[in-house]
A = this chain, B = another copy of it.
């Protein structure tokens, strides 16, 4: 299963070349995985209430084509893997150009599950159950 969410870059997101600043892609990916989790039935705020966090341990982005100011973009998010104490997402940033969908960027994030006090913790069983169907 793949999650898709749309956004339009603001002036706040672009650089002097009028294209999305490379450091804004992580926020677009955050939007993708937050909305995937919400659709799976649990949002990140609920996880935090359980004093759990999913900090990013690794990020990779491959920028292929510039994303333009005000252009309608799609963030495509997949749950790439799911383990006992960690999980991974993959992302594609897409735009419709000349009637066909072009791939602007690819991304990946890895996340560990940690308590508020910083200790590694197993992913909650309820979260695993909800996310299982999303596994690629």
A residues 58-74 touching B (CB-CB < 8 Å): 58-64, 66, 69-70
A residues 12-40 touching B (CB-CB < 8 Å): 12, 14-19, 21-27, 30-31, 34
Give min CB distance, A10 to chain B, whole Å. 5
Stretch at the interface among A41-49, A78-86, A89-97, A119-127: A41-49
Copies, count = 4
Q: Please, how many angstroms separate the alpha-carbon atoms of A55 and B17 in the complex?
A: 10
Asked if A77 is at the interface of the complex by the 8 Å CB criterion, the answer is no
Q: Please, how many angstroms separate the alpha-carbon atoms of A10 and B7 in the complex?
A: 13
> Contact residues of A with B, CB < 8 Å?
8, 10-12, 14-19, 21-27, 30-31, 34, 43-45, 48, 53, 55-64, 66, 69-70, 109
